[in-house]
Every structure is written in structure tokens, then in C-alpha cells.
Structure 1
Amino acid sequence: MHPQVWLHIALLPPEPFLVLFARRLMPFFLIIISIIEKLKLCRKETNFHYKKLESIRKIIGNESIGYD
């Protein structure tokens, strides 16, 4: 093909159907991604708090609290 024809094809806008499809689905993808991120964050926080509780239990269980 002639180079100008390739340039013309490259400059054509993308398929309107695909653009509409992507625009319609984008909010759903964003919602799903945000939910997944929140779940990951909650899991990290829960693990952190669990480890904190475990360390407190170890300290209380292994050392005397001070009642002589």
C-alpha cells in the first residue's frame, strides 16, 4: 500500500462501537477495582491488628504483669 493510505488509516478514529462499549463499561470496572482495593486494604489492616494483639498476648502471657 501507499504510505499515505497507511497514514490515513492510522489517523482514522477508533471504532465507535468499541468507544461506546468502553465508555459504558468503564464505571463498572472502576467500581470493581475500587472494591478489590478496599478489600485488600481491609485485609492488611486486619492482619496488622491481629499481629498487634498476638504480640500483646505474648507480652502479657510471658512476663509478669506486676502483681507480687
Structure 2
Amino acid sequence: MITYTLPHDMARCSGHDCPKRQTCLRHLSLHDIGPRTPFYGRMCGGSDWTSYLQIKEQENESA
């Protein structure tokens, strides 16, 4: 199982009705928040995806 984390000062998003939440670090890092971590129901959507943080694929090191 992969665990995703962000610095505690970066906002998290619960991704209400968001089609990209399964690939967004803000949503996948909900388990790792600090006492002052900003939290939103949905940070982006429609034509504004500037808050979306896409998961970056790791290269296969065994190749």
C-alpha cells in the first residue's frame, strides 16, 4: 500500500464530487494532517484545476 504525504502547511481536500480525487495528492493525503493544516470540501473544479496536485509515477528502478 502506498502512503501519500504532504507538508502540514499544504491544504487538503475531501474531493466532494471531484472526478480527479483518486489521483490528487491533496485528497490522498487526508490521513496525514497537522493541527493547522488547511482543509477544504473541494478546492478545484470546472475550469479551475490550479489546486490539483497529480500523483507522479515513480520510475521502475529494477529495469
TM over 0.5: no
State the structure with more CA Rg: 1
Whichever structure has more helix as a proportion of its residues is: 1
Whichever structure has more strand as a proportion of its residues is: 2
TM-score by length of 1: 0.17
